[in-house]
Structure formats: structure tokens, C-alpha cells
Structure 1
Amino acid sequence: MSAGEVGTDVEILRLGARGDGIAADGLLVAGALPGERVRVIPEAARGSQRRARLDAVLEPSPDRIAPFCPYFGSCGGCAIQHLAPEPYGAWKRDLVATALARAGIEAAVASLRDAHGAGRRRATFHVRRIEGAAEAGFMAARSHALVAIDHCPITEPALHRAPEVARLLARPLGGGGKPLDVQATVTEGGLDIDLRGHGPADGRARQVLVALAETCDLARLSLHGEVLVERRPPVIRAGRAALVPPPGGFLQATQAGEALLGELVVTAMGGAKRIADLFSGAGAFSLRLAEERAVHAVEGDAASLAALDRAARFTPGLRSVTTERRDLFRRPLLAPELDRFDAVVFDPPRAGAEAQAARLAESKVPVVVGVSCDAGSFARDAALLLAGGYRLDEVVPIDQFRHSPHVELVGVFRREGRRKR
């Protein structure tokens, strides 16, 4: 506590959805746990939200453990390294159960399935100039201030050198004088780097970047999605397929997470022979499903579909894989189109798939599998399917975003009886 600051003692009642401890009056205290008595320093209010900075833990919870990362508490990447594994798992499961309950949905929610594996296989590092030098790291919580780091311990070991690579790549682009975001992905060919935020680079800068890709032994280096050099194919495995995703394209956060999601999706399909994969991305599900079933992949991003098509064509033994470029937010598949399929999987962005869920509710598709990284938007979409006559089997929460408030989930819907009108 600095001079002039006056602390207040409060009791923490519960853990909020973002990992903050919450006191009786709704005060949010990052780093505090339920059952603790803590001393806090009030912060300036932001709208209706009241926060306080944790100054001291006066009576610690028996569930409190020591954070393992030296940057925890300043870096905004992790919210909750200080909670023991069992209550942590219960908290994350309850995030899903609470979202469903708020939407009026009764469904069995399984225990949290861990999918951290070897760690995050991709991360976006921010590069900014601090005291005349380029620094790389993550933003502080609720702030635009950069927390420079040496490495992030929750990433795969191959990604530990990424902050240093980011600092080197920033040099020909102004050394962090302009905001620069460096997305780094671990692939079989090495690190795949996509630089964004800086804007165009002149010919000289591009030459230097290509030379740095050699120095840093990168698989591929891109600038705003434009490949500057590909020294080795940045391959990601999707089942038997070797997939080269587009620069900066979407991938699940961990290899273990993608594998578990794929396993749950494939299992839910049962004996279905013709599948629609909506919001397919580059084919993490399509390529696995196509090992035994015909798949029609629908996605709005042309580069992702091209990567999926290429991987499918060069993987021996797959069933038919067709692709369709379509904006499913503006032009969802209609019921007559959907009724051609035995099952559908949809994995939309965080905003969910409200328009497509409404059309699915009108369809006769026997099995619909929803995959989501946002329990709130999933619950909204699920309510539409339930109103259309589906039942929701067990929902499985998956933790590939360990130590953060984010949780992935899979829910299986099966049609029962006539749909409501």
C-alpha cells in the first residue's frame, strides 16, 4: 500500500465469471477467492462496475495455491492460477451450467475435461517500444499497457522463444514504434508467424524480414496474411490429414483440445453417413469425419476452404469432401438444404450462430452437434433448437484455455417427435 491509500477489509463470497472474487456489495477483487477476508484498495469506478485492488490476504482460503508464473497478476493473459485444481474445475463447469440455467435450459453438464496437453500451440504477442527498445509480451488486464515477458509458461515449449522472435521481426518495421501484433503458431515445420497491425512494408523491410525468417529458422513468415517466405510447410495434423492452414487462420488453442473436440464430434455422429460441417474453418472436424463419412464443409473464408480442399485431396482414403463458400450469418443453410444430411456440426465464432440455429430448428436433421467457445451464445442457440423439437443430451465442458475464464463445450442435440411451430 502506497502512502495516502486507505485499505478496506472485505469478505469474498463467490468467484465471478471472469475469475474475480466478489464481495457482498458486488465489489470485484482480482486475485481473491471465496471465503477469504482481504484488504483492498478501491479503484475508480467504470460505469456500474466497482473494482478494488487486492492489497493483502488476511485470511486465506484453503483452496489457495501459489501461482507458477512470475508474470501472473500483472499480465492479463491468465485470470486464475491461484485456485486449487478441484475447485477450479468446479468453477469452470459451473460457468457452463449457469449460462444454460439463465437461458431456461435443463441439461446434464459433465465434469470439466482437461485439454491443455503440452500447452497453447499459438499466441499473439504485442510489440511496443518501451524506453526506446522494442519489447514483446501481453497486455495487462483491462489495460493497453504492455507487460514484457521472456516466455509464456502455459505455451508449448516450442513457443517459448516467440517473444524474442517477435522483437527481432519488429526491427525492420520500426522497432515497435507502431503497434505490431505477432501471431505465432507451433507446426510440424516450425514456427508459423503472421505479422499484423503495422501496415504495409516497403521492399527493403520485406527483404530484411525474409532474411530474419532464415535467421530465426521459421517455417513460414507472413505480413497481414501475405506470405513473404515459406521455408517449410507449416503442417498441422487433423486426423490422418496434413493440413497447412492459411496465415493467421483459425485453429483451436491446443493440439489436445482439437483432438478431444474432434473425438466427441465424431462419436456423436454415430452411423450418420452424410455430414454438414458448418463454420468449418480449415477442416479440423471435416477431415476427421471424412475418414468414414461424406462431408460437405461450409465456411465464409476462401483461404480456409482452399486449405481444407487441398488437405482432403492429398490424404489417401478419405470419403467425399465438398466445400461451399457461404456467409452463414447472412445466408444460413435453409431447412430443405439441411434435410439432405444425416447430421450437422456447427462451430461458430464467439458470437454464436443465431441465424443458422433458427434454420436448423426448422429442419429434420436427426443429430446436431454444437461446438462453442462461449457458453452464453451457445445457450441462446440451444434454446432455438430446443424450441424446434430437439432435446439436448449431455453438455461436455472442455478446458483448453487453462487458467483463463474461457471454456470450450460440446452439446449434442437429437430430434424427438414433431417440431413445434
Structure 2
Amino acid sequence: MMRIEALTHHGMGRAEDGTLVPRSLPGEKVELREDGSPRVIEPAPERVAPPCRHYGACGGCAVQHASDPFVAEWKAGIVRRALQAQGLEAAIAGVETSPPDSRRRARLAGRRTKKGAIVGFHARASHTLIETPDCRLLLSSLKAALPALEAITMLAASRKGEVGLTVTDSPQGPDVAVETDRALTQDLREELGRLVQAHGLSRLTWGTEPVAMEEGPAQRFGTASVVPPPGAFLQATRQGEAALLACVQVSVGDAARVVDLFAGCGTFTLPLAARAEVHAVEGEAAMLAALDRGWRGAQGLKRVSTEARDLFRRPLLPHELQRYDAAVMDPPRAGAAAQVQALAEARVPVIAAVSCNPASFARDAKVLIEAGYAMAPITVVDQFRWSSHVELATSFRLNG
């Protein structure tokens, strides 16, 4: 028997002797079964019944056994500890948690079987594939697409291998990207085309090659309608995107000229263009092309310019940044060390910062604070409900 002392940032309970115990909570007494799962002897007050019937087998979620208030405070604590590791303190303005059944994009796996195919998530720390037809993460439209994904798996997977299936919700129907080694023949292309029509998919991409598109799978960014390229980054839930966008808009305020760094397909660029001229910088030219088409098709937006540029290798330099009243920055998990240094040297008055990695955010925040910026309270955004993933948004303003 052991007592759980803390919950790690990966959602594992840590016992007094350092043993990591899945699906346990601080304060609980547990015994480990032979398979490593805990038998809870004394449950914590924060323990709840998992809302999803697949939770016992599926590895897609880590903390469904914990109450919502506990999870929110745990995620806020992950941010606080990341900042403390850099010698920083910050107030938490709040935690915005996306509701169940709200994920609009997910990467599933598919495998052929003797009887057909299964599609789902892997078991925790395992290659075993678990069917999850009643998953409490996904939008109902994504769950309704499971028969289509099973049919695609039958065509894409070998009897021994798996295929990756990324499915994204759109008003025009599910947008599906398939990761497979199977060659795309003309006969296969025709069969996939019939599958797209039969299942009402908006687009099907095979590896990097578009196979069929009934109607462009559009996403709404402000008043603009954008058809992202296959596999392009998209915020996981509409509620999470709205929370991040609200923070960015408040931070930017009435700035007349804004630069959006790591702009993607225009999640922040296009809504901000309702009030400001925006220069969107992104490493992927295809995403910028989609952003530009969306801007040109929208009404009433101010000028939006685009620049394809690898901001890790070629960050915007201080003299290029000094023309802007505000900057928006939403880098990948690695953060943006070189770009942050240039922003600090340029002394851009306001920086709206969005991050999906508290550790790299804290490192970058330290650079800005040491350069004379003050950090606003942080909003924690939990789009990946019941997981250990944490996102956040805040702003930095020059003192004085």
C-alpha cells in the first residue's frame, strides 16, 4: 500500500517512494495490481466517476477520475510551476475549459481485422487499439464519421500495420487526411471518390495528395471563410479558440498596425483585421495562401499582408518590428527564443502571447520581463479536456 503525494504534469500520481501511479490522486491510499493499475483503498474527495465508458481501456484521457475544479487548479498549477522555474510569478486570471463533446479535430488510428476494421485511440502506453464510439471528447459529427473512417481503413491499412486518420469538422462535412504507405492507384482513387460521396466527406487527402473534394471544408475566422490546406493547424475546439482570441483582442486593443507571428491560416489575423492593418508571417506558404483567399473574399476588413518566412531561422528583426503598434505571437511548442529576443530589442509596445507549452512560454517571458515588459494575468485555456495538455494567453506591455 502506498500514499499518493502529488500529481505530475503528465497526470500521474507520485507516491512517497517516487513510484508513478496512473489514475490516482493526491492523498489517496492505493495498492498496485499486477498490471500496474491502482486499487484505491482510500479515495480523495476530488475523485469522481469517469464520464466516459471507454476510460478504463482508452489512453486518450488522463484525468477523467478527477473533478473539474481539481483539474482546473492542477492545470493552473502547471503554469505557475513553469514560471517559478524561471524565477517568475504571475496571477492566473482564470481557467477556460472546453466542454465535453467539443473536439473538432482529432488524430485517430485505424487497423484492419479479420471481420473488418477498427478505429479509435490507443490504450495507455500501448500499441493496442481501442474502439471509442462513445468518446466524450469528440463532436458528434466526428463520431458520426467513424463508419467512413473504418471504410477508409479497409482500403489504406495492411493486415499488420496501422494508418493514421486525422478528421476535422467543417460545415461542409468531415475533412479527412490519411497517413498510409499504400500507393494511390487510379482504381483506388475512383473507389475513394465514391466513398467520399457516399459518406458526405468534404475532402479526402491521401498522404500529401488530395484525392477528392466535394466542397471546400471551410473554417470561420471572424467574418472570413478560410479553407485550410490538408492537415493545417487548427485550434482543437471552437470554445478554446474563442477564449484565446478574446484574450488577444483585449491585449491588442486599438492598435492600428499589428504583426501576427506564426499566423497559420488566420485564426487571429482575420478577426483582428476588422479594426487594424495586419501583417501575417508564417513558415508554411500554403496556409498563408488560404489566409489571403479568405481575406480577399471577406467584406469590410482592413488591409492584410502576408509573408512566408521561417521565424526560427529568420526571425523578424528589430528594425522590421518597430513599425508595428502590437505583435501577436503563437509559436509551436518549442517557443520562439530568437523572435522574442528581437521583439524585446524592438520594444514593440504590446505583445499578445499565446502558448501551448508553459515551459517554453516561461523561458520566453523571462526575456521580455528582463527587457522591461510587464506581464498581465494569465488565462489558462484547457482545450484538451482531461489530458495533461495546457494552453495559455496573456500580454506584455512596456513599463513606463
- TM-score under structure 1 length normalisation: 0.92
Query: Map of 1:288-367 to 2, 5 A cutoff?
Result: 288-367=271-350
**Residue 178 (structure 1) shift:** 3.5
For residue 27 of structure 1, what is the aligned residue in structure 2? 19
In the other structure, the counterpart of 1:127 is: 110
Match of 2:42 in 1: 59
**AA matched with 1:57:** V
Aligned-partner residue type, residue 295 of structure 2: A
For 1:39, the equivalent position in structure 2 comes to 31
Q: Return the letter of the residue paired with 1:24.
A: E
Which residue, 154, 157, 174 being the options, matches 1:171? 154
Which residues of 2 match residues 74-85 of structure 1 at below 5 A? Answer: 74-85=57-68
Structure-2 residue corresponding to 1:153: 136
- Secondary structure, aligned partner of 2:2: strand
Unaligned 5+ segments in structure 1 are: 1-8, 44-52
**Aligned counterpart for 1:403 among listed residues 383, 386, 392:** 386
In structure 1, C-alpha distance between the alignment counterparts of 2:159 and 2:69, rounded to whole Å: 41
CA distance in 1, matches of 2:125, 2:313: 32
Deviation string, structure 1 residues 189-225 (Cα, Å, up to 9, x no partner): 1111111133531111111111100111111111123
Q: Give the CA deviation at 1:33.
A: 0.8
Alignment partner, residue 254 of structure 1: 237
Counterpart code for 2:303: S
324-333 vs 381-390, greater mean Cα deviation: 381-390
Asked if 2 retains the 8 angstrom alpha-carbon contact of 1:280 and 1:298, the reply is yes
Deviations 1:44-85 (A, max 9, x none): xxxxxxxxx234111111111100112213211110001112
Alpha-carbon distance in structure 2 between the residues aligned to 1:10 and 1:331? 52
Partner of 2:192: 209
In 1, Cα distance between equivalents of 2:177 and 2:240? 22
Per mean C-alpha deviation after superposition, the further-off stretch among 198-207 and 396-405 is 198-207
Larger RCO: 1 or 2 (CA < 8 Å, sep 6+): 2
Aligned-partner SS, 1:110: strand
Partner residue, 1:47: none
Q: Which residue of 2 aligns with 1:238?
A: 221
CA contact (8 A) 1:116 1:401 kept: no
CA distance in 1, matches of 2:148, 2:395: 42
Structure 1 CA distance for aligned equivalents of residues 373 and 34 of structure 2: 48
CA distance in 2, matches of 1:391, 1:73: 45
Rounded to whole Å, the distance in 1 between the matches of 2:188 and 2:154 is 9
Shift of 1:135: 1.5
Which one is further off, 285-294 or 385-394?
385-394
Q: Distance in 2 between matches of 1:398 and 1:115?
A: 8
- Residues 32, 200 of structure 1: alpha-carbon distance in 2 compared, 3 angstrom cutoff: same
**2:343 matched to 1:372?**
no
Which of 368, 375, 381 lines up with 1:385 in the alignment? 368
CA RMSD of aligned residues (A): 1.6
Distance 1:349 1:271, change over 3 A: same
Letter in 2 for 1:351: A
SS at match of 1:369: strand
C-alpha displacement at 1:129, in angstroms? 3.0
TM-score (normalizing by structure 2)? 0.96
Aligned sequence identity (%): 43
Q: 2:124 aligns with which of 138, 141, 145?
A: 141
Q: How many residues matched?
A: 400
The alignment partner of 2:311 has SS state of coil
Residue 21 of structure 1 aligns to a residue whose secondary structure is strand
The letter for the 2-side match of 1:162 is A
Supply the distance in 2 between the matched residues of 1:408 and 1:118 (Cα, whole angstroms): 19
| Structure 2: segments with no counterpart, 5+ residues | none
Matched with 2:166 is 183
CA offsets 1:258-316 (integer angstroms, 9 cap, x no match) = 11111110111112100000000000000010011000000001110010000000001
